[in-house]
Homo-oligomer: A and B are copies of this chain.
């Protein structure tokens, strides 16, 4: 029975989980910055957009200042997982840890820091962070969860039910990999193309009329990703090309996080997203020249910051 949840990282996704779950559980938030924790503890979390409410949460920048938990949701960026998990060492002995990063490999990293049962998740929610204590809930799409390693499916179901009870959408799968890989291929394609071209995820990504149209490249990248998935023995849950076309038909174009990262000259998650796909291609002996090219281009873009 999950009564106490600790959310690690209060960006958009962490804030949305923390505020909603605070309506059905006792929620604490572990932040990186001291003043962020202070603001959350004093003002609580305000949600606007699709849902409008405020929630009270406990918060600290020091894990020792937080009580125990039954569930830890690790909601940092992928590149921060290692540092965040190392801060949890020896803490939360009775908790399961849920990862929700883009790409592949967050679970392996967490596993190196403690013996917690692990829940894999991918989320399609989106929002905008207006301040340390105010998040706007934009796309109310689901979080998908699955067991990792020997975690019992019953525990995954319980987490999914708690998230649904809190007002968010969630679904538990006995095997998350088909969904995780659909999102991986989608993300590797859309994020890297967006980061390099400066285009938000708009109609250009589906255009295949002229030879110079971007949709041809997007389609080729998706096809390459599908060949890697097949070689890895994964039958995809959704077709990433259809996900791409559907997403570009929404009213307003989404700004992929990797585009925001390169525009702010921050490190991106490319190693965990495109890099993961390239490593899987290498492991399974499948050629992935286009994703490998995108990987090197985004890494070089990062190198241009200095």
Contact = CB atoms under 8 A, between A and B. Distances in A.
B293 A293 contact: yes
Given A212-B275, A275-B212, A289 B220 contact: yes
A303 interface: yes
Contacts of A303: 197, 199, 204, 214
Given A217-B293, A289-B220, A289-B289, A212 B301 contact: no
A274 to B, nearest CB: 10
A94 to B, nearest CB: 40
Nearest to A224: B289
A264 interface: no
Contact of A297 (B196, B295, B296): B196
CB-based closest 7 A-B pairs: A198-B304, A197-B300, A214-B300, A217-B296, A199-B304, A212-B299, A197-B301
Size bracket, chain A contacts? 20 to 34
A41 interface: no
Chain B CB within 10 A, most for which of A197, A220, A299, A301: A197
Nearest to A293: B217
Contacts of A213: 296
Interface in A50-67: none
Contact of A214 (B212, B214, B296): B296
B220 A300 contact: no
Contacts of A301: 196-199
A220 B293 contact: yes
A197 B195 CA distance: 10
A297 B217 contact: yes
A184 interface: no
Contacts of A193: 297, 300
B297 A197 contact: yes
B300 A199 contact: yes
Interface string A214-228: 101100100000000
Interface string A65-102: 00000000000000000000000000000000000000
A301 B216 CA distance: 15
A258 to B, nearest CB: 13
A290 interface: yes
A262 to B, nearest CB: 8
A304 B197 contact: yes
Interface in A249-306: 275, 278, 282, 289-290, 292-293, 295-297, 299-301, 303-304
